């Protein structure tokens, strides 16, 4: 399964970026092999409006089925929900550990945004 994890750096030992729409990078990770693709999110991070919506559309395009991140706002959540991408919020620590916890099933999916827009 492919999952998306917001990341402050370009590899699995980077910290999870708590922001979704304005995360530095988004890693698209194969949970079986831990192979990953780096999505540079700089364009969204600096966008004027709708960063979460754009980021959600881009991970949907990469066929990620799940998103692990810190905070997810209402517009991003609505887009992810429409795209059938499940969301795990309040994720922190190192990306590799977040994936490990996910594989162990040590997570819970959220059914709503956990922050207001433009928090």
Question: What residues line the site for another protein (CB under 8 A)?
Answer: 47-51, 53-54, 56-57, 60-61, 75, 78-79, 82-84
Q: Give dist(CA 38, CA 10) in Å, integer.
A: 6
Which CB sits closer to another protein, 12 or 64?
64
Which CB sits closer to another protein, 4 or 16?
4
For residue 22, give the DSSP letter. T
The least distance separating another protein from the CB of residue 76, rounded to whole angstroms, comes to 10
Which CB sits closer to another protein, 69 or 75?
75
- Angle between helix axes 51-61 and 74-82 (nearest 10 degrees) is 20
Contact 63, 83 (CB under 8 A): no
């Amino acid at each position: 399964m492919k999952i998306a994890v917001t990341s402050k750096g370009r590899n699995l030992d980077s910290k999870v970026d708590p922001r979704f729409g304005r995360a530095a990078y988004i890693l698209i990770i194969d949970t079986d092999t831990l192979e990953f693709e780096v999505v540079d999110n700089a364009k969204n991070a600096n966008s004027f409006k709708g960063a979460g919506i754009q980021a959600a559309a881009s991970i949907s395009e990469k066929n990620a089925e799940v998103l692990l991140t810190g905070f997810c706002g209402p517009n991003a959540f609505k887009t992810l929900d429409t795209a059938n991408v499940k969301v795990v919020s309040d994720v922190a620590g190192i990306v590799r550990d977040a994936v490990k916890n996910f594989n162990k099933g040590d997570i819970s999916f959220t059914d709503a945004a956990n922050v207001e827009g433009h928090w």
